[in-house]
């Protein structure tokens, strides 16, 4: 980011950034910038000098007389004994870089640019920090420039390293696997390093690039917490360390392969952006800040100008068995129950009768669609829906015309044999000829068809991340993906794009800069989805969360879950359908149609309100969305299994106005199973205060497991 200097090096002992909810102070008195304070806004009579005085540390036995500050880029040469923020060398020499502050530029109370130079080792280090004034989210990156004449090999360049208070005792990470992403796990911080590394070549299902540092008493509604997310869609490294001296920090950056970044004279490398937030009021408040930032700074104006359409996706209804007669009937059924977009999934292009062939040949299969896709598109649009199409441009099947013509276009690790995954190899999209081929094919499809949406899939990891010359390629591959997406969006700004990488394999703020929606998981099992969506919501708002009603017989878990529960879970995101509409009973169709109507009724609230995840017993998952003015809200209570007591516990709502009288209604399902009369028979248009709902709570009824209830709250006039 650009900044006009208003602070000189001689007078900039401290730099302060401010937002509505927090304040950040950098100590620039020494050779390099370091975080002094990050937390609640301080009183006007509190000075940085006071904080620096209170932070004075003394020499400890058997330690250096000088305790090295934890700088934004801590270095080995400074005496720092933790993980260096910069690792670079010139053929094994000049690795002890020691850049010192040479200029500080700040043109607003929200941003600063700090340059540090090492004249001996010939490099320039730049730290850019921006504290969003409304959300309080910090966006920070580190840039290194080779100012010498000889190549500089870069092994690691982290985004700014941020100190974290030692009184916060816990780390919350986000783990998982395919079809079970975003699982939250909490462990105690310890002396030493907690490190997670991802080498999948994409964001990954198992190691989401995010961490939360919190107190042991912090929960959804109270307590301090800091959250960190690296906005990068490739390899990454996350670290939270407590040094032997008791100080702690978080450091994140791109994980680089050997020789991946070698900077020539005057060439630069910039780390991915680190997004970080602080909350003194619990984890839900922290999520609200990230959601506010995404809504205000990442989601495109085009996506915000219209409601997010209800999707119908054909995959689980037809798989590779495409024919217009069946697709026409599915389109009619989808439109009749309220779908607004019809997405044709895998199987429409040449040679694609199964997952073993065809990838790379992005031409409509004339043997399946002799008149092309336009008859189907015309049918879909005549029913009042827009049309979407599945693609997987980064991949190629060995059994394809493209691979037979260009076997050198794929990534590999010669002389090792190629590793197939889902019968696929990975195209080297950083090659100009590959990039141009893919752009031409996709541009042609979008230019000759009325396509409103691309479901952009990526169904394998990058096991062999080298190009045809033997150079490491993951970094260039990620940037090339961003470049290809940006080219398509410039040419077709009206087309929406979904990031779908076997579900949650590529979900981060980096890819979200180029897409409009994330397919959260390949699992449509409603019980699995509750936990997946719970974790996803830590950083992402509901409107970018693809959430679909799956089939009764879940193809991944084998569970059979009723339509009311499946629909209720999907209703709290960007809603869609994956069911085979030709096999639904009349009752199921009616119930699904009612759920879609309910989502449309509350869509504006769901996609703009403040998330409230509720503290729930281990047999239930609860959350809500409250409008910014607190005039209305929608809360969900899902019973996932049996409880040990006769009746479940009360549900304590959150985020309401305590002085407002609300009309409370249980609006879903139309009839909840209960063996005896319950509170649901009484909670219809009843009037209760926000204070009563939050402090006293509402007794939950005796219902069957795998039941989801929705409660509507509306300010009573």
| Residues labelled as active-site residues | 457, 522
- In angstroms, rounded to a whole number, what is the distance separating the alpha carbons of residues 281 and 290? 14
- In angstroms, rounded to a whole number, what is the distance separating the alpha carbons of residues 570 and 545? 10
- The pair phi, psi for residue 597, each rounded to 5°, is -60, -40
Q: Cβ(611)–Cβ(625) under 8 Å?
A: yes
Question: Comparing C-alpha atoms, which of 142, 165, 139 is closest to residue 290?
Answer: 139
The DSSP 8-state label assigned to residue 671 in this structure reads S
H, E, C per residue of 632-644? EEEEEEEECCCCC
- Terminal C-alpha separation, the chain: 47
**Which strands make up the sheet holding 261-263, listed edge to edge?**
86-89, 152-157, 261-263
Q: Cβ(558)–Cβ(179) under 8 Å?
A: no
**Which strands make up the sheet holding 610-613, listed edge to edge?**
610-613, 620-626, 632-639, 707-715, 661-668, 684-689
The DSSP 8-state label assigned to residue 395 in this structure reads E
Beta bridge partners of 198: 236
Residue 214's Cβ-count burial label (10 Å; 0-12, 13-18, 19+) is buried
- Whose tokens are 């699995």? That residue is 528
- In angstroms, rounded to a whole number, what is the distance separating the alpha carbons of residues 680 and 669? 11
Q: Cβ(310)–Cβ(599) under 8 Å?
A: yes
DSSP string, 311-364: EEE-HHHHTT---HHHHHHHHHHHHHTT--EEEE-S--BTT-SSTTB-TT--SB
- In angstroms, rounded to a whole number, what is the distance separating the alpha carbons of residues 43 and 600? 45
Torsion of CA 684, 689, 691, 693, to 10 degrees: 0
Question: Comparing C-alpha atoms, which of 560, 564, 559 is closest to residue 590?
Answer: 564
Q: Cβ(55)–Cβ(43) under 8 Å?
A: no
Structure tokens at 141: 């990156």
- Whose tokens are 């003394």? That residue is 58
The 3-state DSSP class for residue 403 equals helix
């Amino acid at each position: 980011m650009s900044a006009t200097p208003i602070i000189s090096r001689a007078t900039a002992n401290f730099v302060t950034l401010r937002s509505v909810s927090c304040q950040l102070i950098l100590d620039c008195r020494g050779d390099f910038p370091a975080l002094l304070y990050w937390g609640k806004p301080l009183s006007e009579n509190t000075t940085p000098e006071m904080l620096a005085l209170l932070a004075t540390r003394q020499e400890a036995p058997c330690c250096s007389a000088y305790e090295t500050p934890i700088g934004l880029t801590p270095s080995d040469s400074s005496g720092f004994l933790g993980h260096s923020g910069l690792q670079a060398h010139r053929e094994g020499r000049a690795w002890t870089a020691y850049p010192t502050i040479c200029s500080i530029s700040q043109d607003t109370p929200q941003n600063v640019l700090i340059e540090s130079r090492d004249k001996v080792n010939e490099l320039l280090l730049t730290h850019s920090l921006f504290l969003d004034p409304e959300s309080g989210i910090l966006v920070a990156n580190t840039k290194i420039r080779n100012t010498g004449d000889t190549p500089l090999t870069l092994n690691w360049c982290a985004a700014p390293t941020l100190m974290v208070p030692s009184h916060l005792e816990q780390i919350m990470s986000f783990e998982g696997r395919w079809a079970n992403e975003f699982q939250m796990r909490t462990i105690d911080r310890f002396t030493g390093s907690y490190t997670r590394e991802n080498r999948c070549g994409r964001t990954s299902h198992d190691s989401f690039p995010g961490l939360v540092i919190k107190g042991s008493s912090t929960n959804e509604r109270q307590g301090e917490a800091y959250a960190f997310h690296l906005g990068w869609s490739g390899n990454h490294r996350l670290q939270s360390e407590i040094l032997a001296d008791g100080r702690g920090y978080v450091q994140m950056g791109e994980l680089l392969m050997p020789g991946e970044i070698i900077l020539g004279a005057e060439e630069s490398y910039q780390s991915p952006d680190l997004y970080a937030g602080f909350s003194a009021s619990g984890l839900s408040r922290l999520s609200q800040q990230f959601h506010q930032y995404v809504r205000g700074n990442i989601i495109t104006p085009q996506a915000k100008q219209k409601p997010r359409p209800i999707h119908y996706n054909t995959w689980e209804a037809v798989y590779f068995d495409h024919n217009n007669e069946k697709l026409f009937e599915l389109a009619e059924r989808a439109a009749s129950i309220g779908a607004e977009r019809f997405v044709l999934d895998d199987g429409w292009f040449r040679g694609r009768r199964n997952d073993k062939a065809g990838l790379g040949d992005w031409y409509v299969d004339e043997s399946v669609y002799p008149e092309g896709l336009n008859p189907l598109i015309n049918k879909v649009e005549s029913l009042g829906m827009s049309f979407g199409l599945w693609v997987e441009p980064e991949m190629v099947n060995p059994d394809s015309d493209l691979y037979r013509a260009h076997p050198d276009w794929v990534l590999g690790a010669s002389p090792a044999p190629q590793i197939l995954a889902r019968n696929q190899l990975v195209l080297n999209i950083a090659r100009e000829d590959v990039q141009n081929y893919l752009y031409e094919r996709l541009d042609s499809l979008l230019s000759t068809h009325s396509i409103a949406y691309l479901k952009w899939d990526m169904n394998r990891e990058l096991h062999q991340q080298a190009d045809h010359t033997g150079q490491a390629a993951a970094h260039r591959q990620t940037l090339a993906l961003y470049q290809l997406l940006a080219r398509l969006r410039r040419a077709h700004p009206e087309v929406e794009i979904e990031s779908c990488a076997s579900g949650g394999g590529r979900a981060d703020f980096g890819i979200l800069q180029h897409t409009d929606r994330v397919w959260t998981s390949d699992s449509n099992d409603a019980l699995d989805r509750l936990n997946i969506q719970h974790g996803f919501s830590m950083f992402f708002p509901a409107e970018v969360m693809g959430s679909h009603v799956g089939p009764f017989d879940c193809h991944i878990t084998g569970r059979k879950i009723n339509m009311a529960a499946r629909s209720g879970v999907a209703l709290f995101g960007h809603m869609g359908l994956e069911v085979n509409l030709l096999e639904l009973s009349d009752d199921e169709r009616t119930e699904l149609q009612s759920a879609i109507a309910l989502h449309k009724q509350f869509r504006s609230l769901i996609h703009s309100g403040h998330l409230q995840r509720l503290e729930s017993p281990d047999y239930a998952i609860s959350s809500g969305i409250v409008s910014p003015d607190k005039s209305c809200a929608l809360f969900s209570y899902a019973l996932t299994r049996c409880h040990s007591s006769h009746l479940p516990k009360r549900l304590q709502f959150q985020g309401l106005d305590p002085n407002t009288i609300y009309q409370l209604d249980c609006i879903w399902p139309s009839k909840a199973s209960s063996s005896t009369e319950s509170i649901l028979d009484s909670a219809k248009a009843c009037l209760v205060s926000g204070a009563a709902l939050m402090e006293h709570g509402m007794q939950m009824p005796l219902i069957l497991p795998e039941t989801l209830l929705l409660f509507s709250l509306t300010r009573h006039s």
